[in-house]
Amino acid sequence: MAQDAVEIIAELRFESNSERELWEAGQQDPYLLFRAVQAEKSLSDKKWSNLVAELDQKFEKKGAHINVLRQIFEKSHQQLFKTYQQHSTFNAMLDEGKYDCVSASAALALLLDRYDFDYKVVETDYHVFIVVSIEGKDIILESTLPIGGMITAPSEVVSYLEGYNVGDSVQLKSFSQRLGAPKVDLSDNAIFRKVNLTQLAGLQYYNDAISHFNEQSFEKATSQLTKALKLYNSERIEGLKALAEEQASLLAISN
């Protein structure tokens, strides 16, 4: 397994030594894997450490209680999630307070993991959210809604989840659709699946690749998508990688 990891790393192209180091360490610690994307500048863990220290005290008093869950959601918004901006990275969230559904859900999931909550991260075509099972019921954590984003009423939870039901004959419409805000029209939803922290880190690389793709930086997009695929073997990532490679070849011919 160690040899396989060395071979995988050898075939990847990293933007900086920081990214490589965080990628390698992140195979054992997902927090560091989320910090790998756009890791070129000096990184500070101060905001994260302060939040964790505060929540540790709450958890020590009550354990995996719904009040602690509410504190996780509210304190994350107060201290980390300042300004919604589509396809913001985990580092942008910690450094500037910019967040989207991937980076914010990553932060929440890391905290839920730390405090032993029973949860799952759900990927859809256009969005990522979290379902927590506690005290015999499901609670939605909708990271992009500072107010009302912790959905506890059973009828509202059911309604929220039904909105993302996958149609039997629906197919993914676009490989270059970045994950961001909740989609208004959910009628063509084709993806609804649980992802783990490593796969979620792959979706962060996917989002970053789309930014490069839209800027016609197809080689950079391909590089990011190659890393994304190592973390999450997904049809949307594989499809965009093939498209980016095709566009890079056409661009090279035209030049």
Tell which CATH classification among 1.10.405, 3.10.620, 1.10.10, 2.40.30 matches the domain 44-195: 3.10.620
Q: Which of 81, 87, 2, 85 is nearest to 37 (CA)?
A: 87
* pTM of the complete model: 0.88
Note the pLDDT of residue 46.
94
Note the pLDDT of residue 184.
45
3-state secondary structure 73-129: HHHHHHHCCCEECCCCCHHHHHHHCEECHHHHHHHHHHHHHHCCCEEEEEEECCCEE
Note the pLDDT of residue 1.
43
- What dihedral angle (degrees, nearest 10) is formed by the CA atoms of 19, 24, 30, 34? 10
pLDDT means over runs of 10, the chain (255 residues): 49 91 94 93 88 95 91 97 93 95 97 96 93 95 95 95 71 54 54 94 95 92 96 94 89 73
Answer yes or no: are the C-beta atoms of 81 and 73 closer than 8 Å: no
* Half-sphere CA count of 112, side-chain side, radius 13 A: 25
Q: Which of 18, 56, 12, 59 is nearest to 38 (CA)?
A: 18
Q: Where are the domains of the chain?
A: 44-195
Note the pLDDT of residue 182.
47
Note the pLDDT of residue 130.
98
